[in-house]
Structure 1
Amino acid sequence: MNLKSGYPFSIVKNGIPNDYLKLENDITTDVVILGAGITGALVRYHLAKEGIKCVTIDARTIGFGSTSASTSLLQYEIDVPLYKLSEMIGKEKAERAYQLCDKAINDLEDIAKELNVEEFESKKSLYYAKYKKDADWLKQEYEARKEAGFKVDYLTPKEVQDQYGIKSYGAILSHHGAQTNAYVMAHELLRYKSDKKEFPVYDRSPIKDITHKKDGVVLKTDNGYTIKAKKLVYATGYEVVEFIDKPIVDLLSTYAVVSEQYNERNFWKDEVLIWNTADPYLYIRTTIDNRVLIGGRDEEFSNPRKRDELLKRKTKQLTDDANGLFPKLNFIPEFSWAGTFGSTKDGLPYIGPYKKKTNSYFALGFGGNGITFSVIAAQIIRDLIQGKENKDAELFSFTR
């Protein structure tokens, strides 16, 4: 599946940080991780931490799928607001899902420090009402978050205007969020214990056949090599539609643009992560090297040709959005790209076993905060592989 187009800034800026081998021999291991983007890399890290032998394999050059297209905002907020999710699945479960995402940000910060990932910055997050009709439910959302224990402030339209220069109908200021570079972080995660033969990573090695057996899983590459394992973890992201025969995700096309580099950092207050209540929503953040990144303008299709044909128009629209939001910004686009994006009905990921795929687990972090979902998935799957009970597994299961 063609997951991106254009010039994702992370690849332009960082190139190919690590080199990996093609698989050119048969292997027997405990766990195979299919997919070496940010999700697969997080799964591998958590398994390797526990000394669980695992092979990580990807069809592409590492990180060249959805990971390179990620804009890497880290928020505890799920695409479905907390108050609405509470109505859908119950208050206790909804709050738990949000709290797990909140914890995942802290866990990612700890990992970034351990692995010396420079591009990790803690940030506040401003969620503002784009339209008057959104004002009432945004206040309801504020109350729901406050009741759930999150540190949040409600800002009036005047306060948003005075502090951030944004016209709105009110906003929630969340005190916990972050931003990173998913592409760089994935490579640093894959570097972890890379000198140990028990945890090899292979790229450019497409899998053409997977056989699920009672005592394990057998994978065959397109050049005839075999991997035998006790367990398989599917970390293939939006390409999962090729493996799951039930409609669990709607695929969309999304767009992002990064500006030219500014000589001085003279952006908005605290350089908070900013996003709005529009559908599709618009979001904007700064980068570590004095740029501004803006994304959104999603379309309800995933056809690569249609997606790519719109890239020029979407670049102009997002540029106008940035300059409309901050007229003094003088946002000049330098790199733009499009990617495939997925959403579920309840905004939650799918994590864990799928009955029709024996001896396998899925780590599917769909949604706008897919990286935090990937942390949760890695931790749940680590526990399940070790035979440990994880009380949160049911919340994200295929049977929910």
Structure 2
Amino acid sequence: MTLKAGYPFWLVKDGLPFTFPKLDHDVETDVVILGAGISGALVRYHLIEAGIQCTTVDARTIGLGSTSASTSLLQYEIDVPLYKLTDMIGKEKAERSYQLCSEAIDKIGELAKKVGIEYFERKKSLYYAAYKKDVSWLKKEFEARKAAGFDVIWLDADAVKKQYDFECFGAILSEQGAQTNAYMLAHCLLQHNVKGVENCIFDRSPVVDIKHSKNGVVLATETGYTIKAKKIVYATGYEVVNFIDKKIVDLLSTYAIVSEQYNERPFWHDEVLLWNTADPYLYIRTTPDNRVLVGGRDEDFRDPVRRDKLLKRKTKQLTNDINRLFPNLDFKPEFSWTGTFGSTKDGLPYIGEYSKLPNSYFALGFGGNGITFSLIAAEMIRDLILDKDNKDVPLFSFDR
């Protein structure tokens, strides 16, 4: 599956920071991780930290799938608002899902500090009403988050205008949020090693066959080599539709643009993460090198040809969106891209075991905050492999 097109900013900016070999021999390992994007990198980090021998294999050059196209906002909010999720799965489960995402932001920050990665910035988040009709339910969402213990403030239209200098109908200001560079974060995590734990990483090694049994799994690559493992972790993101025999996700297309570099930083107050209540929603962030990133204008299809043909038009639309919001910004796009992403019925990821494929675990962080979901998946899968109790596993199971 072609997951992206155009010129993802992170890939242009950072290039190929590290290289990895193709698989050119047979391998036996305790755990094989299929996929080396941000999900696979986080899973690998947690497994080797726990002393688990693992091998990572990817069909592409590392990071060139969805990870390089990520806009890398880190938010505790799930695509389904908390008050709606409460109606769907109950108050306790809904709040716990949001709390896990909030904790994941903190853990990613701690992880970045621990391994000396600079690709993490704490940011507040402003969720604003794009239309007057959205104010009533957005206030309901504010009350639900406040009741769940989140540090949030309601701002009316005048307060938003005064503090952030743009027009809307009201907003929720959240203290918790952050931004990263998922492409470089993944690459840097893949450099992390623990003495005494054997682990290998191979890219450009497509797997063409996987056999599951009660004793383990055997993977065959297109060049004829095999990987034998006791367990397999599927961290293949949106390509998971090739392995699951039931519909769990709708694949959609999204678009993103990045401005030319500004000499100064004439941006909004605190450079908070911005996103709105429109459907599809608009989301905006800054970058460390004086740029503004804008994403949205999603389409309900995944066909790469149809998706890519719209890139020029979507670039113009997103440019108009940001310039209407901040006329003084004079946003001029320099890079634009499009990619595939997934949406689930409840906005939650699928994490854990899949009974029809013995000895398998899945780390499928679908949705707008897939990076935080990937951190949650890494911890859960580590616990499952170690037979440790994790009370949150049922929240994201295939049987929910």
With the shorter chain as reference, the TM-score category is: over 0.9
C-alpha deviation, 1:197, in angstroms: 6.8
TM-score by length of 2: 0.99
C-alpha deviation, 1:275, in angstroms: 0.2
Runs of 4+ in structure 1 over 2 Å off:
194-197
Correspondence for 1:339: 339
Q: Is the CA contact (8 Å cut-off) linking 2:351 and 2:363 kept in structure 1?
A: yes
- Number of residue pairs matched? 400
Correspondence for 2:387: 387
* Counterpart secondary structure, 1:19: coil
What's the CA shift string for 1:114-160, capped at 9, x where partnerless? 22222210000000000111100000000000000000000001101
Correspondence for 2:397: 397
What's the CA shift string for 1:334-358, capped at 9, x where partnerless? 0000000110000000000111110
* C-alpha distance in structure 1 between counterparts of 2:212 and 2:41, whole Å: 23
What's the CA shift string for 1:212-261, capped at 9, x where partnerless? 01110000000000100000000000000000010100000000000000
Q: Is the CA contact (8 Å cut-off) linking 1:194 and 1:200 kept in structure 2?
A: no
Correspondence for 2:48: 48
C-alpha deviation, 1:165, in angstroms: 1.5
Q: Is the CA contact (8 Å cut-off) linking 1:9 and 1:336 kept in structure 2?
A: yes
- Would the alpha carbon gap of residues 296 and 248 (structure 1) be closer, same or farther in structure 2, given more than 3 Å must change? same
* C-alpha distance in structure 2 between counterparts of 1:376 and 1:152, whole Å: 23
Which moved further from structure 2: 186-195 or 326-335?
186-195
TM-score by length of 1: 0.99
- 1:1-400 correspondence runs (5 A): 1-193=1-193, 198-400=198-400
Root mean square deviation of aligned Cα:
0.9
Give identity over the alignment, percent.
70
Q: Is the CA contact (8 Å cut-off) linking 1:119 and 1:288 kept in structure 2?
A: no
* C-alpha distance in structure 1 between counterparts of 2:64 and 2:184, whole Å: 11
What's the CA shift string for 1:68-111, capped at 9, x where partnerless? 00000000000000000000000000000000000000000011
Q: Is the CA contact (8 Å cut-off) linking 2:52 and 2:197 kept in structure 1?
A: no
* C-alpha distance in structure 2 between counterparts of 1:186 and 1:119, whole Å: 10
What's the CA shift string for 1:365-400, capped at 9, x where partnerless? 000000000000000000000011110000000000
State the AA in 2 paired with 1:94.
A
State the AA in 2 paired with 1:383.
D
Unaligned runs of 5+ in 2: none
State the AA in 1 paired with 2:375.
V
Unaligned runs of 5+ in 1: none
State the AA in 2 paired with 1:250.
D
* Counterpart secondary structure, 1:121: strand
What's the CA shift string for 1:178-203, capped at 9, x where partnerless? 00000000001100018867111100
Q: Is the CA contact (8 Å cut-off) linking 2:48 and 2:197 kept in structure 1?
A: no
* Counterpart secondary structure, 1:351: strand
Q: Is the CA contact (8 Å cut-off) linking 2:271 and 2:286 kept in structure 1?
A: yes
